[in-house]
Structure 1
Amino acid sequence: MVDNESHGGFTSDGIEALRLVALRTWSRNLTAWLYVPVGIMIILLACFGIDSLIGVSSVSFPASVACLILLFIGLVLCDLAVGDRKTRAVVKVIDIPAGFALRYLNIFFTPSFILLPLSPPIGGVEVAKIIAVFLIGFVVVMAATAYFVRGLQLLLGSSKRAITARAEEMGDESDGIPLTDVTPGRNNSEGTIPTSGTSTPRFMDDSTNDLIAPQRAQDPSLIRGTGGPPEDNITPPAATRQNPLLQTPLPLTRPQRWAAFINSNVDRFTYLILFLFVGLPIYYGTGYAIPAQLTLTTIAYFTALALPPTWKRVFHPVLVSAAITVLGVYILGAIKGDSLSTSLHSFKTGTSYLDLWHGKKNLKAPGAGDILVSILDAGIVALALPMFAYRQELKRHFFAIVIPNVSVSIGSLFGYPAVCYAIGISAERSLAFAARSLTLALATPAVENLKGDVNTIAALAIMSGILGALVGTQMLDWMRIPEDDYVTRGVTLGGSSSAIATAVLLQSDPRAAALSSLSMSLFGIITLALTSVPAIVKAVDSLVGL
């Protein structure tokens, strides 16, 4: 009897918890499962339209980056035409899908790492050369960028303006330490005015009295910082009785505790249920891998995000989630009797949404990796929103941002491949180094334009970000870049270590993070634009014997 009542209690509490979760998350779920997919589809349709227009011309340029530029220009023109308030309303609508794409941008990078086991074997000597070029190049490029930006600021006089702006941002702050403030009390006469910075009150002038009234001795209990009694002793008992009693909140009921737990993990539970009850039956019943592999990749990414923040600086979520996914894909395939190579080939078949919508024939069915890479285009377009948000910073520090980014982009594009190929690194991997400093969202299409190794640039871009997050600020300190020079710090870290270093700056210096985001985006766009010019691509390829 007791067991039946206990079982019934658990069941009713579980139903109540699910009801509470449904009430609290229905709006969020509507956005996540309806508005966001529709918005992502609209962005991809825009990319498809732009890609069709580009296909008419002889220019090779990624449609996603073209949409990024057009969206940024469109928002700026909208702000000028209809004003800030209406433009913010437009941005709020665009942010529904774009914000999702930006929040989960890292998961769209994972296919490049998941497919690393399919890469051609590489010798130990070449690995050592790649590591050497990476480390030396990181230090050289970062130092050159930092001193270039710093020199431009000193030359243009913008460094002092930046410091002034920083001071205005901090506001007026007093250096005085109020150790001797007087605490006003009932013993103070009406003619006294307590003042800060002195333990002796100031008296009102009495024009009818020729003599200055003697100062009244102060009650020691009203003086702080002079060794008087603790202030806790000066409160009269009556005042204590008048203070409202603090009431301890009622403890949560069991359904409320369960609902809170489910609500905080609703995404993980959703994808786990889809994986177990949708993905696996379809995979083992029909052989179609997308539902199982896509939900597995998502669960792996959520698992990687659960790591402590200090761990994530070294064990980046992209690396951890890719490793978990490779292991999971291997296990799922082994149960079915497939090899790792077969399972990974089904994970990404190379069929993009553009191929499907252009009506190309004899295409393989897209895999989970193809879905993620397709949504990455929406993430690239979404980068227009932070650029628009920081447009005033771009205008204010235009030359300090643009000139170094153009210079470093050209130098990397022609310098890295030549050096790498000269010391014996393969041509495809040498070309991948040209986009070493870019955020992976823009580095991947840039390397594809150069016909370089996409897997190599995936590793280089992520490691650049991790290294910048670990030692970037310390390196700037060693270079004697002032801490209040947020322009140099932001532009340097954004151009050298992209999004990962930008995330670190968000915690320590938001204004530097804003410039880092701008630098990261502009650097990628400039490099991608250069690699879209056939003459430049041919010149770079000639450096590696292609």
Structure 2
Amino acid sequence: MTTPPRLEISWPSDSALEQSINALASDREKSRRGGSTPCLEAGSSTATTRRSSLDQCMVYNTDTSPIWNICISYSALLASFFSIFLIGTPVAAVAKEDRVLDGCVMWFVWAVAVRLQRNFKTSHCFLSTPRLKNPLVTIMNPVLVTTLLMTAYTRGKACAYGSGKLADVLHKFSSGTPLYTLWTSATTSLPLPTGATAWFGAGDAALSILECGILIWGFKLYECQRQLFSSAGLVTVLISVSAAAGNVFLSVLSGRTFGLAMPEALAFAARSTTLALAKPAMAAVGGNLGVNAALVVSNGILGQLMYPIALEKIGVKAGSDGISSGDGVSRPEAEDSEGVRQDRSDSNLEEQLRGGDDSATIAAGITIGINGAAMGVSYLYETKSHAAPYAALAMTVFGVMTVVFTTAEPFRGVLIALASR
């Protein structure tokens, strides 16, 4: 007795229901490889398997409501917003302590700035004009947006407290004393430096977090030992040291030549470092901190506006997780029907992976690391560029040597002599 042939029932490929299942299965491709998921298993074509997978997907989608998904996605934004009224405002009203309120407001502003840039970057706005969208995304930098909004917040708070309260509000927000100075004084029982106070506000906390950025990029360097412990890495170090010396001394000399006052000319000595490294450099030589901060931020923003165009011109590609399009915008690689990424790297990129990066990639990394500092390095890591390790190394060496040339003798004396000409 023969077994009758098994009847296979398959749904039309243009079914909207099957398309939704395939899209859900594609989105969870990585999770499906590591274990079982409630969605459709790849390669199954029987009606029983499809119906079972459909039931599981419907149950899975029913359990998670859209409101819950929104709350999870915007959890940081919602938590920071409600903390202003549930924590910050009551503490300020009862205990007359504004630091908690300032911290909650700054947390909310930062969450709004990050979410705003992220949503705009992934939205369909100006999708047909990427050369316009990229500058807009760059201008929406969270650091810049937070700075502008917190400036408005402190001015508005001073107006609410009455005339003549701006200086008091700014001092409560940030006294200018770094956290390491307070810790050093507390552990060694030594008095604080002249002009420093023990007050530690929300702005000081933000600066302390910002100062940790140089350490974060140091950890990223550990991932790129092959590129850095090579002749290219040595060349990067030598060029960065030379560039730091030239920038510190020649920029100050040029500023004085063009008629700038001594503090403003000294502000150019650390124009291409991070804010964390520029602050001690300016404190050591008496440079204008406001002018220096404006130079550092504007330098990074202008750099990000030009990086896509410049990297495209010299042929520096994005990494293996993305491909660089002709318009300078990095896009994800295409996926096949199984949800597996296709390798779109050209032969030059494959040669770089096997035998090292080319001279254009190394030069681009050094240039962006020296001039763009943290914002330039973050852009290269975001686009998975092979120039990112060299940029991180150049930024670190350049920044450290800038501090050395502005704080250590005899370099500091020579710099002040040039500025006082």
Q: Is the 8 A contact 1:481 1:488 kept in 2?
A: no
Paired position in structure 1 for 2:58: 250
> Equivalents in 1 of 2:251, 2:67: separation in Å?
55
State the shift of 1:416 in Å: 0.4
Change (3 A) 1:286 1:378: same
What letter corresponds to residue 315 of structure 1 in structure 2?
M
Whichever of the two has the greater Rg, that structure is: 1
> Equivalents in 2 of 1:375, 1:269: separation in Å?
22
Q: TM-score, normalised by structure 1?
A: 0.51
Q: Once structures 1 and 2 are overlaid, which stretch shifts more, 305-314 or 331-340? A: 331-340
Residues 230-270 of structure 1 deviation map (CA, whole Å, 9 limit, x = unaligned)? xxxxxxxxx99799467273274486433322222222222
What letter corresponds to residue 224 of structure 2 in structure 1?
Y
- Return 5+ residue gaps in structure 1 as ranges: 1-238
Q: Does residue 356 of the first structure (1) align with residue 164 of the second (2)?
A: no
Residues 212-232 of structure 1 deviation map (CA, whole Å, 9 limit, x = unaligned)? xxxxxxxxxxxxxxxxxxxxx
What letter corresponds to residue 470 of structure 1 in structure 2?
L
Q: Does residue 379 of the first structure (1) align with residue 213 of the second (2)?
A: yes
What does 1:455-470 align with in structure 2 at a 5 Å threshold? 455-470=290-305
Paired position in structure 1 for 2:354: none
Paired position in structure 2 for 1:426: 261
Residues 169-220 of structure 1 deviation map (CA, whole Å, 9 limit, x = unaligned)? xxxxxxxxxxxxxxxxxxxxxxxxxxxxxxxxxxxxxxxxxxxxxxxxxxxx
Q: Is the 8 A contact 1:293 1:329 kept in 2?
A: no
> Equivalents in 1 of 2:47, 2:381: separation in Å?
46
Q: Is the 8 A contact 2:217 2:392 kept in 1?
A: no
What letter corresponds to residue 171 of structure 2 in structure 1?
H
What does 1:312-391 align with in structure 2 at a 5 Å threshold? 312-337=137-162, 339-357=165-183, 358-359=185-186, 360=191, 363-391=197-225
> Equivalents in 2 of 1:482, 1:506: separation in Å?
13
Q: TM-score, normalised by structure 2?
A: 0.66
- Which SS does the other structure have where 2:97 is aligned? coil
What does 1:482-493 align with in structure 2 at a 5 Å threshold? 485-493=360-368
Change (3 A) 1:253 1:340: farther
> Which of 411, 415, 419 in structure 2 is aligned with 1:540?
415
> Which of 278, 281, 306 in structure 2 is aligned with 1:443?
278
What letter corresponds to residue 87 of structure 2 in structure 1?
V
Residues 49-69 of structure 1 deviation map (CA, whole Å, 9 limit, x = unaligned)? xxxxxxxxxxxxxxxxxxxxx
What does 1:192-341 align with in structure 2 at a 5 Å threshold? 244=50, 247=54, 249-250=57-58, 252-253=61-62, 256-305=65-114, 306-307=116-117, 308-309=120-121, 310=134, 311-337=136-162, 339-341=165-167
State the shift of 1:488 in Å: 1.2
- Return 5+ residue gaps in structure 2 as ranges: 1-44, 122-133, 318-357
> Equivalents in 2 of 1:545, 1:268: separation in Å?
49
Change (3 A) 1:387 1:489: same
Which structure ranks higher in relative contact order (CA pairs < 8 Å, sequence separation ≥ 6)? 1
Identity %: 24
Change (3 A) 1:376 1:495: same
> Equivalents in 2 of 1:468, 1:461: separation in Å?
11
Q: Is the 8 A contact 2:240 2:394 kept in 1?
A: yes
> Equivalents in 2 of 1:420, 1:453: separation in Å?
13
> Equivalents in 1 of 2:64, 2:367: separation in Å?
51
What does 1:95-106 align with in structure 2 at a 5 Å threshold? none
Runs of 4+ in 1 over 4 A off after TM superposition: 239-246, 480-484
Change (3 A) 1:240 1:323: same
Paired position in structure 1 for 2:350: none
Q: Could you say what the CA RMSD is over the residues aligned between the two structures, in angstroms?
A: 2.7
State the shift of 1:524 in Å: 0.9
What does 1:45-60 align with in structure 2 at a 5 Å threshold? none
Tell me how many residue pairs correspond in the alignment. 307
State the shift of 1:413 in Å: 0.7
What letter corresponds to residue 462 of structure 1 in structure 2?
V
What letter corresponds to residue 435 of structure 1 in structure 2?
A
Change (3 A) 1:376 1:321: closer
Q: Is the 8 A contact 2:233 2:390 kept in 1?
A: no
> Equivalents in 2 of 1:507, 1:356: separation in Å?
35
Q: Is the 8 A contact 2:237 2:393 kept in 1?
A: no
Q: Is the 8 A contact 1:349 1:367 kept in 2?
A: yes
- Which SS does the other structure have where 1:510 is aligned? coil
Q: Is the 8 A contact 1:282 1:288 kept in 2?
A: yes
Q: Is the 8 A contact 2:182 2:198 kept in 1?
A: no
> Equivalents in 2 of 1:387, 1:517: separation in Å?
7
Change (3 A) 1:255 1:333: farther
> Equivalents in 2 of 1:482, 1:262: separation in Å?
40
Paired position in structure 1 for 2:378: 503
State the shift of 1:379 in Å: 3.5
What letter corresponds to residue 247 of structure 1 in structure 2?
L
Q: Is the 8 A contact 1:351 1:364 kept in 2?
A: yes
State the shift of 1:350 in Å: 2.5
> Which of 392, 407, 421 in structure 1 is aligned with 2:242?
407
What letter corresponds to residue 487 of structure 1 in structure 2?
I
